[in-house]
Amino acid sequence: MKLYFAPGACSLSPHIALLEAGLSSDYEQVDLKAKTMKSGGDYREVNPKGAVPALKTDEGDVLTEGPAIVQYIADLAPGSELAPKAGTKERYKLMEWLNFISTELHKMFSPLFRPNTPEEYKPIAKENLATKFAYVDQKLAKTQYLMGDHFTVADAYLYVMLRWAQAQKLDMSKFANLKSYFERVGARPKVQEALKAEGLS
């Protein structure tokens, strides 16, 4: 397999998942502005969308979109319990979390990253994000992780969003559950390994 990534981007989520699953993979760094790969070549030939992550499977297929990629990784290593078994009610709960993080958190960060976003809109974007993080904070009041007391691929994805919140200086001080969760996930050895590999620690 080969994971195409950009340091600190949402591709950090499948990077963590691969390490947590104990799966071997090659890694190819992508320059998202130039749409080129570190080893050379036009990244759009791998993923015409020009975004990361992309995962080239051992069969030569290319998967894109983080929520799909992390479930694929989890299913390659069922013993890792990174995702509940397909077809179970718990698996649909995981998909619910992945969709929430993708649409209600990930995409809501987009205006904060775009250089053409008017400055006066950025506080509104941050306020909108805060309401979504408040929901997650409440859900984490009684559990260690999103799906209970076991780490899943949804936690890897949420962790990346919390790193973004930190980078964008969102006021997260009122979210005590998210604060302890962020520290707990960040302390995991495989998370630390992924951060180090991407030059983020």
* Residue-level pLDDT at 14: 98
Q: Evaluate whether 201 touches 8 at the Cβ level (below 8 Å).
A: no
Mean pLDDT for all residues in the chain: 97
Q: What CA–CA distances, in Å, run from 133 to 68, 97, 130?
A: 23, 13, 5
Domain with CATH 3.40.30.10 in the chain: 2-80+191-197
Report the phi/psi class of residue 88: left, alpha or beta, with left for phi > 0 and alpha for psi in -120 to 50.
Answer: beta
> Quick one: which H or E segment has residue 31?
strand 26-31
Domain with CATH 1.20.1050.10 in the chain: 89-188
The span from the CA of 101 to the CA of 175, in Å, is 17
* Number of CB atoms found within 10 A of residue 171's CB: 11
Map tokens 């290593």 to a residue.
77
Write down how long the chain is: 201
The whole-number average pLDDT for the span 66-80 is 98
109 contacts: CB under 8 Å, gap ≥ 6: 125, 129, 161, 164, 168
CATH number of 89-188: 1.20.1050.10
* Residue-level pLDDT at 201: 86
Whole-angstrom Cα Rg for the chain: 17
Domain at 2-80+191-197, CATH class: alpha beta
Express each pLDDT in 183-195 by its tens digit.
999 999 999 999 9
Considering the chain, what percentage of its residues have pLDDT values greater than 70?
Answer: 100
Q: Evaluate whether 32 touches 52 at the Cβ level (below 8 Å).
A: yes
63: tokens are 């998967």
Please measure the distance between the N-terminal and C-terminal CA atoms of the chain and give it in whole angstroms.
Answer: 25
Express each pLDDT in 159-179 by its tens digit.
999 999 999 999 999 999 999
